[in-house]
Chain A
Amino acid sequence: MVNYLVRRIFTSILVLFGVSVLVFSVIHLVPGDVTMAILGRQKVSPEKVAELRAQLGLNDPLYVQYGRYLNKALHGDLGVSIRNYLPVSKSIAEQMPSTFALAMSALALALSIGGILGLLAALRHGTWFDTLVMGLSVSGLSIPTFWMGLLLILLFSVKLGLFPSISNGSSPAELFLPALTLGLPEAAVVARMVRASMLDVLSKEYIITARAKGLPERLVILKHALRNALIPVVTFVGLQMAYLLGGATIVETMFARQGIGRLAVQSIFNRDYPMVQGVVLVTATIYVLINTLTDITYVFLNPKIRLK
């Protein structure tokens, strides 16, 4: 158990190390002289460029620069935006809650819509309803998010006037359309998983036995089948966090929401490398942490592994 924990944490640290090296290299992989990007709209003299290079430590050996970068990052200093001169960590902290709220509500919508449809489809296996749900699901996986977002805005904001078309806060009304746009393709995935796993469970012996014992069908479904069928779905949820954080990019852009996805796109347009580095580093770190924590929690909850 301790052995496993140590190994798991060590692997994560190795991955995080790789992540930080990759992110650090961004500024060195950029074509041309990065100091020019930083100096931006100033009239620059060669002396000024040289001065800035020295100031940024770009003349030091790479490993020294990396060491400095890592040390600062570990202390929460991700550098300063080269466009508005604000600390990167502050900007990210400012944008993060909005993305998080969006991702969570999208997940909630996806699980409820997809779960119910998938369940009903499995129970009505082979009927027109099943075909319809499967058709909707494959369509949901194929539809471009930005197209669907547009259609949703036109319908719900412009035609019906029910929900705001631009959104900022975390109130249900403001989150609804963005969360739906982000969550519907997810719902399609969930529906397929629930259906498949429900069908699988329903064919299991213990269900057949339960039925043979004369248990009411409702009880069979709710007590035995559903609980087991949902397990793979819930496992899948952990993996979705990273996707949702990344997928928020387009939705945040469409609805002019605050968020780190939009921050990433804007920073790329502005060639604000410290900001791009910061956003990518933070998101990747969150992903690695979630994965590690999931695995560790799992071990704690699972006596089998603990005994080993």
Chain B
Amino acid sequence: MKNTLFKGLSVIVLIGLLLVACGGNAPATEKPVIEQPAVEATEAPAEATEAPAVSGGILTLGIAIEPETLDPGDAVYVQEQFILISLFDSLLSMAPDGSLHPGLATAWEPNEGYSEFTFTLRQDVTFHDGTAFTAEAVKASFDHIVSEAVLESGGKSLLQDHQYVETVVVDDHTVTVKFAASYPTFLRDAARQWLSISSPTALEKYGQDYGRNPVGTGPFKFVQWDAQSQIVIERNSDYNWAPEFAAHEGPAHLDQVVFRILSEAATRLTAFETGEILVASEPPALDAIAMAESGKALIQTFAQPGIPAILMINAGKAPTDDINVRKAMILAVNQEELAQTAFQSLGLPSYSVVSPTTWGYDEKADSLYRYNLEEAGRLLEESGWVDSDGDGIREKNGEKLTIDWPDNPSWSEAFNELLAGYLTNAGFDVQYRSMDDGAQYEELLAGNYTLVYMYWTRPDPSPLRYLFHSENIGGGAWTNFTSDELDAALADGDTQTDEETRKQDYITAQNIIMENALVLPMFTVNTSYLTSPAVQDFTFDLEGYPWIYDISIAQ
């Protein structure tokens, strides 16, 4: 008895010590911004009567995936650009209608061969850290992207694919960017977040840690990033260089924006329902519709141009090295039903490698395949795939008709099982293997896959080159398909300065891709957000990222 008593006491003493130790630490880890619940934001402006009527408030958005970095030069993914758009400006800006406008540059001039571009820069811009924006900043940002510090990124592939040479500082406010190859789309790319401009002082100061301490010129400043939890940005009150197509001028309306990382769609919905977040990205469709009908929320959707949601089929590996098998896969999927089941009225079926809202979209390539299970079966039998043992799976020479699909379910949870179901109905044995992006990339490099999920938002079909040109086999062109005709069309489309010829190139490419059944089209990515009625002026940028600069919260 005594022993137990003392043992018990010692535990109490120990826990007391731990509590004291922990209590001492607590204030340091508590950040004031966390304390502010989003719902109270709407009341906040009442105190600040002098401020403009719509100004103020905290907008909390529930986002699905945590960015890996906030260094624009190092970024690849959607979840990164989503936040970068508020922190950074680019040389040019692109309006939702696709027209080019001044950004950090007021004027620009390509040379005749579209390989050198001279920009005249604004003189009144400062970075969040107080550094003045000059030609040096442009050079530092672009040189940073192609430097060893960046392993691989969207910006790096844009610059390197077009053989970036150097950025020449002509004077403080004039800069020339030089490429060894013709790069007719550079001006459009210069408007992207990937090529936005970082503070040269911050790049130097933070080095490897810059991705966690981004400093730009955008309408919001970076405040903090709590891993697995949230990213907080606050209004840049000096901001006075908004693009001319924006709805207002001067600083942003919101005091603060909190990107809350909530990886489960169900969690985002619950948090939205309870008012803990005011905007939920990618809500479950059924709930979103129900909530919108009850007037408790608005659904904001954006039909994305570019490459719709497709599965790239590995044509370099059995069984999909057989065109009949690939065709059968496309025919086995009922895209209309798939879009309807997975996204309800928020999804649109897709039948081609380019979505209908894209410049250069071709109707003929879109018309080649429609759901036809019998025809799929016929094609498979023609190639010798029959279900000989009655288990519903087709075999040939004792081999099962196996589809290997390594994938990150965070991207595809809405439809992956549904899609697998269609293929199973046609007699395929679908092996879905869930993993993260990094692991998936390894599997792709090793060639262990049949399907690769892909979508790419872009106003034109230019990503086709990255995805299908044979020079990218082993790193982007996951179809492992080589055709000189296709390569020629894609290469020309990328460098051709004549718009009509360029369009024709892409039409040719679309048709070759679809005739060879290199992709299984599924649906057009309809980015959707659930917003509280209090959130006003919610609009999208050209690529479907929320344009947070113009958003305000009603009182």
Contacts and interface: CB of A to CB of B under 8 A. Distances in A.
Contact of A297 (B1, B10, B29): B10
A97 interface: yes
B273 A84 contact: no
A302 B3 contact: yes
A269 B208 CA distance: 24
Contacts of B9: 234, 301
B150 to A, nearest CB: 10
B209 to A, nearest CB: 8
A95 B34 CA distance: 15
A165 B442 contact: no
Contact-residue size bin, chain A (C-beta under 8 Å from the other chain): 35 or more
Nearest to B77: A41
B69 interface: yes
Interface in A149-205: 153, 157-158, 161, 164-166, 168-171
Interface string B169-201: 000000000000000000000000000000000
Interface in A96-112: 97-98, 100-101, 104
Contacts of B228: 95, 258-259, 262-263, 266
B10 A301 contact: yes
A238 B14 contact: yes
Contact of B6 (A91, A258, A270, A302): A302
Given A161-B274, A232-B4, A256-B263, A44 B10 contact: no
Contacts of A95: 227-228
Given A37-B439, A95-B228, A234-B11, A166 B262 contact: yes
Given A258-B226, A271-B436, A298-B10, A231 B4 contact: yes
A32 B208 CA distance: 28
A147 interface: no
B437 A304 contact: no
Interface in A1-52: 32, 36-37, 40-44
Interface stretch (B18-26, B423-431, B517-525, B546-554): B18-26
Q: Is the interface of B mostly helix, strand, loop or mixed?
A: helix
Interface residues of B, number: 59
Question: B76, B264, B445 — which one has the most chain A CB atoms within 10 A of its CB?
Answer: B445
Contacts of A255: 267
Contacts of B227: 84, 86, 91, 94-95, 258, 263
A234 B22 contact: no
Given A43-B152, A270-B438, A166 B68 contact: no
Contacts of A254: 267
A4 to B, nearest CB: 14
A107 B137 CA distance: 54
Interface of A: 32, 36-37, 40-44, 82-86, 91, 94-95, 97-98, 100-101, 104, 153, 157-158, 161, 164-166, 168-171, 228, 230-232, 234-235, 237-238, 254-259, 262-263, 266, 269-271, 290, 293-294, 297-298, 300-302, 304
| Pairs of residues from A and B, 10 with the lowest C-beta to C-beta distance, nearest first | A297-B10, A234-B8, A298-B10, A302-B6, A40-B438, A238-B11, A43-B475, A165-B270, A301-B6, A231-B8
Interface of B: 1-15, 19, 22, 25-26, 29-30, 34-35, 37, 68-69, 76, 151-152, 208, 211-212, 226-230, 260-264, 267, 270-271, 273-274, 276-277, 435-439, 441-442, 445, 474-475
Given A101-B22, A170-B26, A232-B8, 11 more contacts: A41-B76, A41-B437, A94-B227, A166-B277, A169-B34, A169-B35, A235-B11, A237-B15, A258-B226, A258-B228, A304-B3
